[in-house]
Amino acid sequence: MCIRDSIGTLEVDLRKGRGESLLGNWLADVLRERAGADVALINTGGIRKELLAGPLTALDIHEILPFANSLITMELTSRQLAAIVQRNADAGVERTHGILQISGLTYASRPAPDGSTAGVEEITVGGRPLDPGGIYTVALPDYVAAMAHVYLNIEVPEVYDLGVTLTQVVVESVEATGTVTAALEGRIRQLD
């Protein structure tokens, strides 16, 4: 099969933006499903192309995710996951770099009076409040773990490389499902 041959159909335009996005939701969902993880994270800055509804090719996926990033997992405590959420909420306020797109996780936050941080008021995993004693499997690109000082705000625990690139994971998902769609679900909510 040629990289330009259709591998599926995109039902909606997949765009990215500063907050939660259709493209980010779809990609994070695909990573979480492949890893069998509770949560998935993907950096918005690593998503390099938007897609219009219509035929979808392997070339499109390579252009969306042009880097050879591996899919990894790690086990995180609720405290570590909350620290990541706090860092992501702060990034949404200060806008010094793009946020992480998320799957399996939701949170609400509001800008703090200082204008450079956020107060996180609600975190759920799998539709349930964050369990204070919980341990969660989190899937993410190896790049995000390598850039933990920017994105994660935690010491990175042992990671498990799943032996596939993000591009491979997404191409295989499209080939398996045939039709791709996504929705904005309020995974990242900014409160007034």
Q: What is the mean pLDDT of residues 140-168?
A: 96
pLDDT of 126: 97
- For 66-91, write each residue's pLDDT tens digit: 999 999 999 999 999 999 999 999 99
20-37 residue pLDDT tens: 999 999 999 999 999 999
pLDDT value of position 17: 80
DSSP 83-144: HHHHHHHHHHHH-SSPPEEEESEEEEEEE-TTSS-EEEEEEEETTEEPPTT-EEEEEEEHHH
Determine the average pLDDT of the residues in 39-51: 95
Report pLDDT for 1. 66
The two structure tokens encoding residue 80: 């570590």
Closest CA to 89 of 47, 119, 129: 119
Can you give the length of the chain in residues? 192
- The answer to whether the predicted template modeling score (pTM) of the entire model surpasses 0.75 is yes
Q: Please state, in angstroms and rounded to a whole number, the distance separating the CA atoms of residues 5 and 113.
A: 51
